[in-house]
């Protein structure tokens, strides 16, 4: 055999050997075990972690546990502090001392009762005898222009109130001095609000008022009244929050610097309420189950001799329950370039099979089922483990925006959330405890995810958005704007 033929034969054997290293379903099943998942969930959802509120000591303990598990698996640390991507935030608490709102109309002076006011967006303000106007519905609000509103006090009622909550940035562009949201009943604001330290303070304070005396002098349109208001500066206390990130490095020289990501949020709702009874929101299914799945999939894939062509990043996110805070922070400060991130598979509610619609055994749902080419790969992986990868016609698309996949999608990364169910008994209640999870079913679903993400990362072709689906148009444009990998 000539040297040239010998080299070609060796190369062919190497290719054949590499193909043979693709993990078998049995290799994954032997490593990804129900009892390991139970151990992880039972710790993360224990009373000792006090519901993992954002921020809280319990959340910090959970982060340390996840980092230790990534270290055990042998993942590369990928944060600015080992496995941690630190996120500087502050807890902003409204100062209600000295809060005032006064209306002068028809020779009357009406001072809103302090007990009938709350601050939704706190920012220092002091204005006197400002002109005011009121929008009572969404159409009236949408018809307003900056010239009509600039520097005035804008009252919003009913449907206009709801519209403002959906599009606060659009209202801010009208440049009012103050926005007052009118309610007919009390509106508890829930205490401190998180704000990224580097983010600009809100330009427009938002005051919520349910004082009937104030409402009595208001009517839609420009008001024959002037408004004076005083809002003290809020108190801000720095807090450090952390995403936890580890990487299984890919094997292909040309593709190892591209990334498939698996995410789950490790926070929940903390401790709420007082008095007798259980006030710890343990969040076993939501989302200790997703976090445990990320941990055990990482342990499984890292224990294999084979490595996919692309790298796989495992990311546990803080603050999902506060509005995708951790995932939004990540995509604004990406550890891996978004253009080189080919997919995000987010895991939510992986354990409970007692869905409100009935038993959910042997299947996993995909939000935005028809949005990308990823679904097909996971559907094929599910066939190896007796798991059906399904589209819930009622919930698949509406739930797409309700978990951390949405932040990645907005950045153009093909993404989905996988879950066993959507709404289960004890959802966002103290009864979401670790004993209620079906760990055998959860293990089969996680094996599906492990094999599916390996195959995605091992493919030379990157996942794509389904451009034929009109619901993906903005995600396709976002992907194009990043010059995303193909």
Q: Which of 74-88, 118-132, 453-467 has the lowest mean pLDDT?
A: 118-132
Query: In Å, what is the CA distance from 93 to each residue of 22, 78, 179, 321, 325?
Result: 53, 33, 18, 18, 18
**pLDDT over threshold 80, residue 166:** no
d(CA 262, CA 314) in angstroms, rounded, equals 5
Residue 70 confidence (pLDDT): 98
Q: In the CATH scheme, what is the code of domain 23-90+238-482?
A: 3.40.630.10
**pLDDT over threshold 70, residue 304:** yes
**pLDDT over threshold 50, residue 132:** yes
d(CA 261, CA 243) in angstroms, rounded, equals 13
**pLDDT over threshold 90, residue 266:** yes
What pLDDT, in 10s, does the model give residues 4-53? 433 333 343 333 334 437 899 999 999 999 999 999 999 999 999 999 99
Residue 17 confidence (pLDDT): 37
Residue 393 confidence (pLDDT): 93
- Percentages helix, strand, coil for the chain, rounded to the nearest 5? 35, 25, 35
**pLDDT over threshold 80, residue 472:** yes
| Domain regions of the chain by residue span | 23-90+238-482, 100-236
**pLDDT over threshold 90, residue 2:** no
User: In percent, how much of the chain has pLDDT > 70?
Assistant: 94
Residues 65, 44: contact at Cβ < 8 Å?
Answer: yes
Q: Looking at 367-467, which runs of residues are DSSP E strands?
A: 388-390, 415-419
Reported pTM? 0.84
Residue 164 confidence (pLDDT): 73
Whole-number mean pLDDT of the chain? 91
Q: How far apart are the first and last CA of the chain?
A: 39
Residue 282 confidence (pLDDT): 97
Local structure of 76: helix, strand or coil:
strand
Q: For 259-264, what is the mean pLDDT?
A: 98
Q: Which of 294-308, 430-444, 470-484 has the lowest mean pLDDT?
A: 470-484
Residues 120, 161: contact at Cβ < 8 Å?
Answer: no
Q: Give the contacts of 293 (CB within 8 A, at least 6 positions apart).
A: 37, 264, 347, 350, 442, 445, 446, 449
CATH class given for the domain over 100-236: alpha beta
Helix (H) or strand (E) holding 302: helix 289-302
């Amino acid at each position: 055999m000539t040297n040239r033929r010998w080299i070609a034969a060796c190369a062919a054997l190497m290719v054949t050997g590499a193909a043979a290293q693709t993990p078998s379903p049995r290799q994954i099943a032997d490593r990804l075990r129900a009892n390991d998942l139970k151990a992880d969930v039972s710790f993360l959802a224990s009373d000792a972690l006090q519901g993992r509120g954002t921020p809280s000591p319990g959340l910090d303990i959970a982060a340390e546990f996840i980092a230790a598990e990534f270290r055990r698996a042998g993942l590369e640390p990928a944060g600015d502090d080992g496995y941690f991507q630190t996120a500087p935030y502050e807890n902003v608490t409204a100062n209600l001392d000295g809060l005032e709102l006064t209306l002068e109309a028809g020779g009357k002076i009406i001072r809103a009762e302090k007990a009938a006011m709350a601050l939704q967006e706190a920012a220092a303000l002091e204005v006197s005898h400002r002109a005011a106007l009121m929008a009572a519905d969404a159409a009236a609000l949408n018809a307003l222009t900056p010239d009509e509103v600039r520097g005035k006090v804008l009252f919003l009622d009913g449907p206009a109130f709801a519209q403002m909550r959906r599009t606060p940035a659009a209202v801010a562009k009208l440049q009012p001095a103050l926005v007052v949201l009118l309610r007919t009943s009390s509106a508890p604001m829930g205490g401190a609000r998180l704000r990224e330290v580097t983010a600009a303070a809100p330009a427009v304070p938002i005051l919520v008022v349910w004082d009937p005396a104030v409402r009595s002098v208001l009517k839609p349109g420009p008001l024959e009244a002037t408004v004076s208001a005083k809002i003290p500066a809020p108190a801000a206390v720095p807090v450090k929050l952390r995403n936890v990130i580890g990487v299984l490095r890919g094997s292909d020289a040309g593709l190892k610097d591209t990334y498939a990501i698996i995410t789950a949020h490790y926070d929940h709702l903390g401790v709420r309420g007082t008095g007798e009874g259980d006030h710890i929101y343990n969040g076993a299914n939501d989302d200790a189950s997703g976090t445990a799945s990320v941990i055990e999939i990482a342990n499984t894939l890292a224990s294999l001799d084979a490595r996919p062509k692309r790298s796989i990043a495992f990311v546990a996110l803080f603050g999902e329950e506060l509005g995708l805070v951790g995932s939004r922070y990540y995509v604004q400060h990406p550890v891996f370039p978004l253009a080189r991130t080919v997919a995000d598979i987010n895991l939510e509610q992986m354990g409970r099979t007692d869905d409100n619609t009935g038993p959910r055994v042997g299947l996993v749902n995909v939000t935005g089922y028809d949005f990308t080419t990823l679904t097909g790969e996971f559907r094929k992986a599910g066939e190896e483990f007796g798991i059906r990868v399904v589209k819930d016609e009622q919930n698949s698309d509406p739930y797409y925006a309700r978990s951390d996949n949405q932040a990645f999608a907005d950045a153009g990364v093909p993404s989905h959330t996988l879950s066993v169910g959507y709404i289960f008994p004890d959802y966002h209640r103290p009864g979401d405890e670790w004993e209620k999870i079906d760990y055998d079913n959860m293990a089969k679903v996680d094996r599906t995810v492990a094999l599916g993400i390996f195959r995605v990362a091992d493919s030379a072709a990157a996942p794509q958005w389904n451009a034929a689906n009109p619901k993906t148009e903005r995600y396709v444009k976002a992907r194009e704007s990043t010059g995303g990998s193909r």
